[in-house]
Structure 1
Amino acid sequence: MKVLILGAGYGGLTVAHRLKEYLGEDIEITVVSKSRSIYENTIFPAILTNDVKVEDTVFDGLEVMRRKGNLFVEAEVKDVNLQSKEVKTSKGTFDYDYLVLALGGGYEENFNKISGHEHAFMHHPLSDFLKIKEKLASMDEINAVIGNYTGSPIEGPSYQLALIVRNEINRRGIKGKVTLVTQSPNGVFGMLPVKEISERANRLFEENGIELVKGDSIVEVRKDKVVTRNGKEIGSNFVSILPKLSVPSLLRETSIVNERGYVEVEFPSFRTKRFHDVFAIGDLAEGMIPARTARGAMIAGENVSSTLAKEIKGVEKPLYKQGIICMFHGGEVAGMLRFDVKDKPHVSLLVNPVFSKLKIMYSRMLVATGFNVPYHAAPFF
């Protein structure tokens, strides 16, 4: 039985790890990734504060999969034909019995569509975090605007960057201002169904000198200002944005992509609604919990693995509910938000500097294991 996994991020490698553990030699697993250098990108903000070095964030995907007994192919995906069950890559064509789409959310493609993106950074890839670090160090006065493009579901990194930039201004004793644009009218963590959490978070940010613009998003960047969806103009000399997500361009013409640019899946299996043998996880799947997190992608990977283990060999393994655990590192401010639903929603927000150290420790565990972390502190179905 052949399982082909496109993408070597949190979700894709979780499937590769877990399926091999569940099915052993009964399964042939191939992971295709454009690079064998795999980065743990949730810790990138800590590079800005010198708490983490670049080399602490990377591992060799080929070696990790080789030790597991899986095939790792360093190649670019060129075409996905769901009818013929073939995937063309720069290293040849692969067929499959089951396909797992874990290619990410088309960050660069969508960022480049933002009007004036050349005047902004994107706080997602390592390359931009390194540019952000260099830029901030060179500035004698910082007037930062940080936020998301309309419809971007991942605001946590924006929160962290806003806190870090404010910390940089305070640490250096320079003039500066930080404006954080949140899409929810409730502000920080406003997408959650417990208003008191966002109220506490808003106070935390405002007490740390961050100005909040609620219920808005950045749609255009100019040389000295940004323009928001609501028509607000905010002066700036430093801008960083997370774009909206969608499937990468190579998947856009396939029949499983809806008009919103995502792959529709069934829950809790993450099987695509149109093809029984195709699964989609992570940033390209519609229906992932709105705050897309590494934990969410890994939970999706666990559910795919459990579904296939039962389907292929009758092996019963757990299925998880989606949820959020977000440890944020913001310089002098750190904390953890948790949101899960068992019988009813449970939300907690803890603020303590110790979470910076815990986040770094967890990140190092992710790197050391090649994203093989089976316990996700999530409720079962």
Structure 2
Amino acid sequence: MRKPKIVILGAGYAGITTTVRLQKKLHPKDAEIILVNKHDYHYQTTWLHKNAVGKLNNEQTKFSLHQLIDQKKVQFIKDTVQSIDVKEKKVYGKDQIFTYDYLVVALGSEIDTYQIPGLKEHAFSINTLVSATRLSAHLETEFLQFSQTNQETFPIVVGGGGFTGVELLGELTERLSSLCEKYQIDPKKIKLQCVESESTVLPEFDLELGEYAMQKLEARGVEFRLGITIKSVATDQIKIEQAGLIEDIPARIFIWTAGVRGNRIIEESDLPTNESKVEVDAHLTAPGYPNVFVIGDVASVRDSEGKPYLPNANIAMQKAIICARNIVALLKGKQEMQDFTFRNFGTIASLGKRDAIGVVFRNKKIFGWTASCLKTLVNYFVLYEIGGLKLLFTKR
């Protein structure tokens, strides 16, 4: 008798957590589990702002999938997903075709350019390990080249003052001083700006936390420009609009952190989507396809007020846990599956090595060193969840 086949697409937080949970709950005779990912490693997305400025290297951020999975229970296949045909129950990779009985789609997100002219060509991003590493190398190159000129200013612009943008600014402000020292550049020549469309930074948090973050970063030399719309991006400048006025801002380096969308493969499939994501049901399955689970950044789940939760590692891993439980329930012939309910333990944004802000537990606001320490603990808890104690002791 043929074993049911479970195919998991993507090894981000959602995909790897699902894989680890299934391999713990199932015996090899229960099902064939296949994990498909374009890389043979998982990387910590929540650390990418550190990679982007050169504080962490690739080896400190990525973890071999062979280290995380039980190869007696899970077959890992390195391949890039090209398309999904849910009607035929097939996934087309670059190298081979996968059939399945149960599919877990956890392909993650990609940059949303909002069709801003020139942004895709000229902006840097930090949404993947590859893009963060590219930015880190570019920073070194630009500082070296600037040190060999007589130019008066070195303009760096970050587009977006949300969670990702603020964490990047926190790391940049600490890293720039060492880069200036290394390349013998006067720190006063560095002009670091952040442009944000909202009237405050960190709209995910309340005003007090946003103001705290802005004041701390302004004290380190960041200039915030709020209520800004980016109209276009060129090699050395960006065009902005504020209150109907158009202005060109010099930008030797422009970093885009303001927009992400679900993987385009989802929209191109037969899965019903809304704004590049699948509105999953309570069991995290796609409407009309009870054998297709959609989790992570490509799944839209709404709160009690009907607002979609913002994607992050916490909610991705919680989705994965319920997804794994429900797949096990189906395999064991149980009629009832568990509904997904997001348990919000809080959110913390770092502002560098020793400073952070956050909301934890019952909307308790935390600041400074306390928040920073808790952020570190959360990072290591995530490592423990996906790899156990061995991951904590083998990677620092």
TM-score interval (norm. to shorter): 0.7 to 0.9
Q: How does 1:16-165 map to 2 (within 5 A)?
A: 16-25=19-28, 26-47=30-51, 51-67=55-71, 69-107=73-111, 110-111=112-113, 114-117=116-119, 118-137=121-140, 138=143, 139-140=146-147, 141-148=153-160, 155-165=162-172
Q: Report if aligned partners of 2:8, 2:103 keep a CA contact under 8 Å in 1.
A: yes
Q: Report if aligned partners of 2:163, 2:204 keep a CA contact under 8 Å in 1.
A: no
Q: Which residue number corresponds to residue 196 of structure 2? A: 182
Per-residue CA deviation, residues 17-68 of structure 1 (Å, 9 max, x unaligned), is 1122233342332111112122223212223565433211112214432346
Q: Given the two structures, how large is their TM-score scaled by the length of structure 1?
A: 0.80
- Is it true that 1:249 corresponds to 2:264 in the alignment? yes
Aligned counterparts of 1:300 and 1:89: Cα–Cα separation in 2: 25
CA 1:143–1:302: 2 relative to 1, 3 Å: same
Q: How does 1:1-381 map to 2 (within 5 A)?
A: 1-25=4-28, 26-47=30-51, 51-67=55-71, 69-107=73-111, 110-111=112-113, 114-117=116-119, 118-137=121-140, 138=143, 139-140=146-147, 141-148=153-160, 155-171=162-178, 172=180, 173-174=186-187, 175-185=189-199, 187-192=200-205, 194-228=206-240, 230=242, 232-233=246-247, 234-242=249-257, 244-267=259-282, 269-287=283-301, 290-313=309-332, 314=334, 320-323=341-344, 325-338=346-359, 346-352=363-369, 355=372, 363=379, 370=386
SS at match of 2:286: coil
Q: Given the two structures, how large is their TM-score scaled by the length of structure 2?
A: 0.77
Report the identity percentage: 22
Q: Report if aligned partners of 2:166, 2:202 keep a CA contact under 8 Å in 1.
A: no
Which consecutive residues of structure 1, in runs of 5 or more, have no partner in the other structure? 149-153, 374-381
Aligned counterparts of 2:114 and 2:210: Cα–Cα separation in 1: 31
Per-residue CA deviation, residues 114-152 of structure 1 (Å, 9 max, x unaligned), is 42233221122233323333333314543221124xxxx
Per-residue CA deviation, residues 340-377 of structure 1 (Å, 9 max, x unaligned), is 6xxxx62523222882x76567656756775569xxxx
**Which is higher, the Rg of structure 1 or of structure 2?**
2
Aligned counterparts of 1:278 and 1:122: Cα–Cα separation in 2: 31
Aligned counterparts of 2:286 and 2:279: Cα–Cα separation in 1: 6
How far did residue 91 of structure 1 move? Answer: 3.9
SS at match of 1:106: strand
Report the AA paired with residue 335 of structure 1.
Answer: A
Question: What number of residue pairs does the alignment pair up?
Answer: 358
CA 1:76–1:336: 2 relative to 1, 3 Å: same
- Root-mean-square deviation over aligned CA pairs: 3.3
Aligned counterparts of 2:230 and 2:342: Cα–Cα separation in 1: 32
Q: Report if aligned partners of 2:14, 2:295 keep a CA contact under 8 Å in 1.
A: yes
Aligned counterparts of 1:229 and 1:19: Cα–Cα separation in 2: 50
Report the AA paired with residue 260 of structure 1.
Answer: E
Aligned counterparts of 2:280 and 2:212: Cα–Cα separation in 1: 34
Q: For structure 1, which segment, 228-237 or 12-21, has the greater mean C-alpha deviation from structure 2 after superposition?
A: 228-237
CA 1:339–1:332: 2 relative to 1, 3 Å: closer
Aligned counterparts of 2:173 and 2:387: Cα–Cα separation in 1: 31
Q: For structure 1, which segment, 7-16 or 48-57, has the greater mean C-alpha deviation from structure 2 after superposition?
A: 48-57
Which consecutive residues of structure 2, in runs of 5 or more, have no partner in the other structure? 148-152, 181-185, 303-307, 390-396
How far did residue 275 of structure 1 move? Answer: 1.7
Report the AA paired with residue 270 of structure 2.
Answer: S
Aligned counterparts of 1:363 and 1:332: Cα–Cα separation in 2: 13
Structure 1 moving runs of 4+ over 6 Å: 315-318
Aligned counterparts of 2:384 and 2:62: Cα–Cα separation in 1: 9
Aligned counterparts of 1:338 and 1:76: Cα–Cα separation in 2: 37
Aligned counterparts of 1:189 and 1:287: Cα–Cα separation in 2: 21
CA 1:133–1:346: 2 relative to 1, 3 Å: same
Q: Report if aligned partners of 1:36, 1:61 keep a CA contact under 8 Å in 2.
A: yes
Per-residue CA deviation, residues 158-206 of structure 1 (Å, 9 max, x unaligned), is 1122223333444535122222223432x222134x3333233333333
Q: For structure 1, which segment, 209-218 or 318-327, has the greater mean C-alpha deviation from structure 2 after superposition?
A: 318-327
CA 1:317–1:286: 2 relative to 1, 3 Å: closer
SS at match of 1:177: strand
Q: Which residue number corresponds to residue 183 of structure 2? A: none
Q: For structure 1, which segment, 55-64 or 285-294, has the greater mean C-alpha deviation from structure 2 after superposition?
A: 285-294
Per-residue CA deviation, residues 56-102 of structure 1 (Å, 9 max, x unaligned), is 11122144323462111111223311112111223432222221111
